């Protein structure tokens, strides 16, 4: 039984309970309002027509209603296969009732008649996928009144000459490089290089050169620096070189006595008109020089200077004593100067050739070290698959249902003679090829439609026929592997690949080959892509990799 003292506490407790309950209810209502105010995004797709003629366009419009903070990603690239996307317009944005309305229009077309289905398109909103409806489209042929419009046969294939623009550009670059190197070499060999003071003095006649060198010796600091040995060595070298060039005696390799003896013989023979006093003074200077160089004698500076003057006097008197040069002597001297100039020119040629040879050798060694011998050799001399890889690639569609593929060369249509048993099943076969199985690289793309539109593709029979064709061409010991293959647009197919030995005709040479076969298909048709290449060919492997990455097919007829 509750007493009076406990009643106020109970009333108070009920008030607190009511307050808390009311607060929770209000919070719940506001939370619920906030949650329900965020509506679920909506996605809608529509088309402006369900029937077009070949080449006409369909406007495919996607409308998305979402909140302003939502992240919306529309479809990109060719996701509308079997229809082709011609253009994707920019996204149109409007606001309605605090909601964003996003619209994007895609222009689609088809160049083959028939009934097609535009697949569902995926729109990602905040990384959540929303799918549109699919649409059935009918593409009708263009009616042609043959009574008014004359019909012509299909024109035959025309052989188009391969563009040589890249080749001419390469030749032009090489020619410019060669001309530039030649011009530099010509300038280096024939340039008029400024002469140094020593070179200018060396080109002077012996008499003038000797006087200039004696003057330079007079202005030198050998005597001030107490370097008498260098002084006398230079002094005797000047006079001996002069006598050897002007008097034509072996002066540089002769001893003092031998040199004086030769001069006296020339004097006695009347070829050199020198006084005995001059020869005695010259002998004394040479003897003093021998003492300084070999006995470490050190004469006074005044004596050294006096010896220099005596040598200068000997040079002058020797010049006066020599007979006047004849015309023959002058011609010989001119020929000597020309020969000297020619030697200098040849020296420059040798230097330029050596520098060019060094650059070529260094560049070759560096290129081989960095890129490898095969790549350098193939770049210089060329290699078929390397040229294919570096070609301007072409992206095109082949056959019906079409195979879209990027190749270094356009595939050429080839008529295939079907066996009689195959003609009963096959309605039409379209085959396009490049190269042959016997070559370094080959490629085939073919589309085949069955007479029975509901017939399933016979992958095993097609694969057996393809491998049989390879064996007939000479491929032996075939190893087969199998894997799944998916195109960029999501079409699934079968990939069969492996290797074998190809014996070249009329030889015993065996070449290891690799192959890859892609098989796609659906009700009433089958599509094949076949690649063969030489094993270990890095250029061919890059070609195959790029081709496989570009393959796409139409999944319906």
Predicted local distance difference test score (pLDDT) of residue 254: 87
The residue count for the chain: 557
Backbone angles phi, psi at 71, to 5 degrees: -105, 115
The domain spanning residue 316 has which CATH number? Answer: 1.20.120
Predicted local distance difference test score (pLDDT) of residue 531: 92
Q: Is 451 contained in some domain?
A: yes
Q: What DSSP designation does 3 have?
A: -
Whether the pLDDT of residue 328 is over 50: the answer is yes
Show which of 300, 323, 346 is a domain's final residue.
Answer: 323
Please identify which residue in the block is written with the tokens 């992958």: 459
Cα-Cα end-to-end distance for the chain: 91
pLDDT-derived band at 109 (thresholds 50, 70, 90) equals very high
CA atoms of 440 and 458, how far apart (whole Å): 30
Q: Is 24 contained in some domain?
A: no
Q: Strand locations in 255-411, DSSP E?
A: 394-398, 403-407
Q: Is 355 contained in some domain?
A: no
5 HSE (CA, 13 A, CB side): 0
Whether the pLDDT of residue 61 is over 80: the answer is yes
What six digits make up the tokens of 368?
A: 């081989």
Q: Is 445 contained in some domain?
A: yes
Helix, coil or strand: residue 173: helix
Asked if 209 and 310 sit in the same domain, the reply is: yes
Asked if 311 and 214 sit in the same domain, the reply is: yes
Whether the pLDDT of residue 63 is over 90: the answer is yes
Quote the mean pLDDT of the chain.
80
What six digits make up the tokens of 128?
A: 């959540």
Q: Is 16 contained in some domain?
A: no
Asked if 213 and 293 sit in the same domain, the reply is: yes
Q: What DSSP designation does 524 have?
A: T
Q: Is 171 contained in some domain?
A: no
Beta pairing partners, 235: none
Backbone angles phi, psi at 163, to 5 degrees: -65, 130
CA atoms of 391 and 168, how far apart (whole Å): 14
What six digits make up the tokens of 81?
A: 């296969």
For the entire predicted model, the pTM comes to 0.44
- 269: nearest Cα among 239, 249, 290: 249
Return the H-helix or E-strand segment holding 128: strand 128-131
CA atoms of 248 and 93, how far apart (whole Å): 105
Better-predicted residue by pLDDT, 23 or 462: 462
Asked if 206 and 87 sit in the same domain, the reply is: no
Asked if 234 and 301 sit in the same domain, the reply is: yes
Asked if 136 and 201 sit in the same domain, the reply is: no
Return the H-helix or E-strand segment holding 429: strand 426-434
Helix, coil or strand: residue 534: strand
**What are 90-95's contacts with CB under 8 Å, separation 24+?**
none
Whether the pLDDT of residue 127 is over 80: the answer is yes
- Counting the structural domains of the chain, the total is 3
Q: Is 243 contained in some domain?
A: yes
Domain membership of residue 63 as a residue range: 42-140
Asked if 312 and 426 sit in the same domain, the reply is: no
Predicted local distance difference test score (pLDDT) of residue 32: 41
CA atoms of 45 and 65, how far apart (whole Å): 12
- 445: nearest Cα among 523, 519, 345: 519
Beta pairing partners, 492: 486
CA atoms of 236 and 287, how far apart (whole Å): 10
The domain spanning residue 419 has which CATH number? Answer: 3.40.1000
Asked if 389 and 531 sit in the same domain, the reply is: yes
- 528: nearest Cα among 490, 480, 493: 493
Predicted local distance difference test score (pLDDT) of residue 444: 92
> CA quadruple 163, 164, 165, 166: dihedral positive or negative?
positive
Asked if 462 and 532 sit in the same domain, the reply is: yes
Predicted local distance difference test score (pLDDT) of residue 40: 83
CA atoms of 348 and 384, how far apart (whole Å): 42
Return the H-helix or E-strand segment holding 305: helix 301-321
444-471 tens-digit pLDDT? 999 888 888 888 888 888 888 888 888 8
Cα torsion for 530, 536, 539, 544, to the nearest 10°? Answer: 20
The domain spanning residue 55 has which CATH number? Answer: 2.60.40.10
Q: Is 468 contained in some domain?
A: yes
Asked if 312 and 410 sit in the same domain, the reply is: no
Beta pairing partners, 514: 499, 533
CA atoms of 181 and 91, how far apart (whole Å): 57
498-517 tens-digit pLDDT? 988 887 766 677 788 899 99
Whether the pLDDT of residue 115 is over 80: the answer is yes
Angle at 63 between CA 113 and CA 49, to 5 degrees: 25
Q: For a pLDDT cut of 70, what percent of the chain falls above it?
A: 80
Asked if 111 and 213 sit in the same domain, the reply is: no
Asked if 136 and 261 sit in the same domain, the reply is: no
Range name among 25-34, 175-184, 257-266 with the lowest pLDDT average: 25-34
């Amino acid at each position: 039984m509750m007493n009076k003292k406990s009643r106020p506490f109970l009333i108070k407790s009920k008030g607190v309970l009511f307050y808390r309950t009311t607060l929770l209810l209000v919070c719940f209502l506001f939370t619920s309002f906030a949650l329900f105010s965020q509506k679920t995004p909506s996605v809608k797709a529509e088309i402006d027509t369900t029937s077009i003629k070949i080449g006409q366009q369909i406007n495919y419009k996607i409308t998305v209603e979402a909140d302003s903070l939502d992240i919306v990603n529309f479809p990109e690239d060719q996701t509308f296969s079997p229809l082709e996307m011609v253009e994707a317009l920019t996204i149109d944005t409007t606001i309605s009732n605090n909601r964003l309305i996003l619209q994007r229009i895609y222009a689609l077309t088809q160049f083959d008649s028939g009934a097609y289905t535009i697949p569902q398109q995926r729109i990602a909103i905040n990384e959540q996928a929303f799918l549109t409806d699919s649409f059935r489209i009918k593409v009708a042929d263009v009616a042609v009144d043959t009574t008014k419009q004359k019909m012509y046969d299909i024109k035959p294939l025309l052989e188009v000459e391969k563009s040589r623009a890249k080749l001419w550009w390469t030749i032009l670059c090489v020619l410019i490089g060669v001309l530039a190197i030649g011009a530099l070499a010509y300038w280096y060999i024939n340039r008029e290089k400024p002469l140094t003071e020593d070179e200018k003095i060396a080109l002077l006649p012996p008499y003038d050169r000797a006087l200039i060198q004696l003057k330079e010796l007079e202005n030198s600091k050998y005597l001030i620096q107490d370097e008498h040995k260098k002084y006398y060595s230079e002094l005797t070298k000047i006079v001996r070189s002069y006598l050897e060039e002007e008097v034509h005696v072996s002066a540089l390799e002769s001893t003092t006595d031998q040199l004086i003896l030769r001069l006296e013989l020339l004097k006695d023979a009347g070829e050199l008109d020198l006084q005995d006093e001059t020869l005695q003074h010259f002998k004394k200077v040479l003897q003093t020089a021998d003492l300084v160089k070999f006995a470490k004698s050190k004469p006074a500076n005044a004596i050294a200077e006096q010896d220099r003057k005596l040598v200068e006097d000997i040079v002058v008197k020797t010049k006066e004593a020599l007979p006047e040069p004849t015309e023959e002597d002058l011609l010989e001297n001119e020929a000597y100067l020309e020969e000297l100039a020619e030697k200098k020119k040849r020296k420059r040629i040798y230097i330029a050739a050596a520098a060019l040879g060094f650059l070529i050798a260094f560049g070759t060694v560096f290129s081989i070290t960095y890129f490898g011998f095969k790549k350098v050799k193939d770049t210089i001399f060329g290699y078929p698959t390397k040229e294919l890889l570096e070609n301007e690639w072409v992206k095109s569609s082949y056959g019906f249902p079409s195979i879209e593929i990027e190749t270094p060369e356009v595939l050429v249509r080839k008529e295939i003679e079907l066996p009689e048993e195959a003609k009963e099943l096959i309605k039409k076969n379209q085959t396009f090829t490049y190269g042959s199985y016997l070559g370094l690289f080959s490629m085939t793309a073919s589309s085949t439609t069955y007479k029975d539109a509901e017939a399933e593709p016979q992958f095993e029979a097609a694969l057996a026929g393809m491998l049989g064709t390879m064996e007939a061409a000479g491929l032996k010991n075939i190893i087969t592997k199998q894997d799944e293959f998916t195109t960029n647009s999501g079409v699934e197919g079968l990939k069969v690949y492996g290797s074998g030995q190809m014996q070249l005709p009329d030889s015993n040479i065996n070449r290891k080959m690799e192959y890859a076969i892609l098989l796609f298909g659906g009700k009433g048709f089958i599509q094949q892509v076949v690649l063969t290449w030489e094993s270990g060919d890095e250029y061919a492997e890059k070609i195959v990799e790029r081709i496989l990455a570009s393959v796409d097919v139409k999944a319906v007829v």
